[in-house]
Chains A and B, each alone.
Chain A
Amino acid sequence: MNLLKEPITDQDLILKLIPQRAPIVMVDSLLYFEESKVISGLTVTEDNMFVQNGFLTEPGLIEHIAQTVALYTGYHFYINNIPAPEGYIGAIKSVTIEKLPKVNMQIETEVEILQEIMGVTLVQGTTTLNGEVIVTAQMKTVLKN
């Protein structure tokens, strides 16, 4: 069940939920949130630092998934009135990238939280473009102490 009353698209609020700052902000909306699942959105802009030749490149897609995890954690902290924690990607495996989105396209990423223990979060991320799955990845993210 979606715990959001409505999607969060206010950029000032998004920046409160994640520790990243420009030019490395790779989520622009929080579309869905529940206890073990989150969906983020990103519209690919020309000035995105991961865009090359009009396409969002592979590192940008991976970073987008990682920041979706940050958004999940940050929103958890936010509703408890605690600042968003810093974290980093600990490991990535089983990555499949089928297509690179073009500039001006909007992608959505669903992250399912598979396990959380000792500050390590294991997630399954799925990125879609117009409903088509373009990226799947399993990732471990780590909260900075």
Chain B
Amino acid sequence: MNKEVIIEKINDFLIDEFEVEAEDLSPEANLKEALELDSLDFVDLVVAVEANFGVKLVGEDFINILTLQDFYDLIENKLS
């Protein structure tokens, strides 16, 4: 799966699951702010990633995740 496909797939489920607008999903956007995530929402993000990519994230994975680009990179790294 190439990077563009990964990003498209991530954006698709973020729009569906977190009810955000596509234009808010710029790579430099702050992940928590763009998705309006609170501490309870991270588990939904983990569920969505596992459902869409078969990858299980753990808390430590989010330590250095600030932007959407960081999140895209995280998923790409997990898949590789």
Within 8 Å of chain A (Cβ to Cβ): is B55? no
> Contact: A117 with B40, CB < 8 Å?
no
CA of A77 to CA of B9, assembled, Å: 38
Classify the interface of chain B: helix, strand, loop or mixed.
helix
Interface flag for A85 (CB, 8 Å): no
Q: Dominant SS at the A interface?
A: strand
Interface pair B46/A91, CB less than 8 Å apart: no
Point out the residues of chain A lying under 8 angstroms from B62, CB to CB: 118
Judged by a CB distance under 8 angstroms, whether A140 is at the interface is yes
Complex contact A120–B42 (CB within 8 A): yes
* Size band of the interface chain A makes with B: 10 to 19
Asked whether B57 lies within 8 Å of A142 as measured between CB atoms, the reply is no
Interchain Cβ contacts under 8 Å between A and B, 12 examples: A90-B40, A91-B40, A115-B46, A116-B43, A117-B43, A117-B46, A118-B42, A118-B59, A120-B39, A120-B42, A122-B47, A142-B39
